[in-house]
Structure 1
Amino acid sequence: MSELILALLAGGTVGITLGALGAGGGIIAVPALVYLLGFTPAEATTASLLIVSVTSLTALYAHARTGAVQWRGGLLLAAAGVLPAAIAGVLAARVPAALLTAAFGLVAGLAGLRMLRPAPPATAPATATAVQPVKAVSAGAGLGALTGLLGVGGGFLAVPALTGVLAFRIRAAVATSLLVVSVNALVALAARGGTATGVDWAVVGPFAAAAVLGAWDGKRLGAKLPDAVLHRVFAGVLLAVAVLMLVDAAR
Structure 2
Amino acid sequence: MIFVVIALGLIVGAILGLVGAGGGIIAVPALVGIVGVSVADAMATSLVMAVASASTAVLPRLRGGVDWPVAVAVGVAGIPAALAGTALNSLLPQPALLIAFGVLMVAAGIRMLLPLTARDENPERHRWWLLRAALIGLSVGLLTGLLGVGGGFVIVPALTLLLRMPMKRAIGTSLVIIVINSLAAAIAHFGVGGLDVPLTLAFTIPAMVASLVAARFAVRLPGRALQLGFAILVLCIAVVTMITTVAQLL
Does the alignment reach a TM-score above 0.5?
Answer: yes
Q: CA deviation at 1:67?
A: 3.1
Q: Which amino acid aligns with 2:55?
A: L
Residue range with higher mean Cα deviation, 73-82 or 241-250? 241-250
Other structure's SS at 1:224 match: coil
Name 2:60's counterpart in structure 1.
62
Tell me if 1:30 matches 2:28: yes
Q: Which amino acid aligns with 1:238?
A: V
Q: CA deviation at 1:62?
A: 3.0
Tell me if 1:138 matches 2:135: yes
Cα contact 1:46–1:195 (8 A) shared by 2 = no
Indicate how the Cα distance of structure 1 residues 84 and 93 shifts in structure 2: closer, same or farther if over 3 A, else same. same
Name 2:158's counterpart in structure 1.
161
Tell me if 1:9 matches 2:16: no
Q: CA deviation at 1:196?
A: 4.9
Name 1:114's counterpart in structure 2.
111
Q: Matches of 1:236 and 1:222 in 2, distance apart?
A: 17
Name 1:209's counterpart in structure 2.
205
Q: Which amino acid aligns with 2:30?
A: A
Q: 215, 221, 240: which one pairs with 2:217?
A: 221
- Normalising by structure 1, we get a TM-score of 0.91
Q: Which amino acid aligns with 2:15?
A: T
Q: CA deviation at 1:28?
A: 1.0
Q: CA deviation at 1:129?
A: 7.7
Percent sequence identity over aligned pairs: 34
Q: CA deviation at 1:80?
A: 1.0
Other structure's SS at 2:124 match: coil
Q: Matches of 2:113 and 2:217 in 1, distance apart?
A: 20
Residue range with higher mean Cα deviation, 200-209 or 28-37? 200-209
Q: 179, 186, 189: which one pairs with 2:186?
A: 189
Cα contact 2:167–2:227 (8 A) shared by 1 = no
Tell me if 1:147 matches 2:144: yes
Name 1:47's counterpart in structure 2.
45
Q: Matches of 2:245 and 2:157 in 1, distance apart?
A: 28
Q: CA deviation at 1:92?
A: 1.0
- Normalising by structure 2, we get a TM-score of 0.91
Q: Which amino acid aligns with 1:160?
A: P
Q: Matches of 2:137 and 2:191 in 1, distance apart?
A: 26
Tell me if 1:86 matches 2:83: yes
Residue range with higher mean Cα deviation, 234-243 or 181-190? 234-243
CA RMSD of superposed structures (Å): 1.8
Tell me if 1:249 matches 2:230: no
Q: Matches of 1:222 and 1:119 in 2, distance apart?
A: 19
Show structure 2 runs of 5+ residues with no match: none
CA deviations over 1:79-107 (Å, ceiling 9, x no partner): 11111111111221221111111111212
Indicate how the Cα distance of structure 1 residues 13 and 125 shifts in structure 2: closer, same or farther if over 3 A, else same. farther
Other structure's SS at 1:94 match: coil
Indicate how the Cα distance of structure 1 residues 227 and 132 shifts in structure 2: closer, same or farther if over 3 A, else same. closer
CA deviations over 1:9-37 (Å, ceiling 9, x no partner): 21112111111211111111111111111
Indicate how the Cα distance of structure 1 residues 189 and 239 shifts in structure 2: closer, same or farther if over 3 A, else same. same
Name 1:230's counterpart in structure 2.
226
Q: Matches of 1:232 and 1:106 in 2, distance apart?
A: 19
Q: Matches of 1:132 and 1:53 in 2, distance apart?
A: 26
Q: CA deviation at 1:181?
A: 0.7
Show structure 1 runs of 5+ residues with no match: none
Cα contact 1:85–1:147 (8 A) shared by 2 = yes
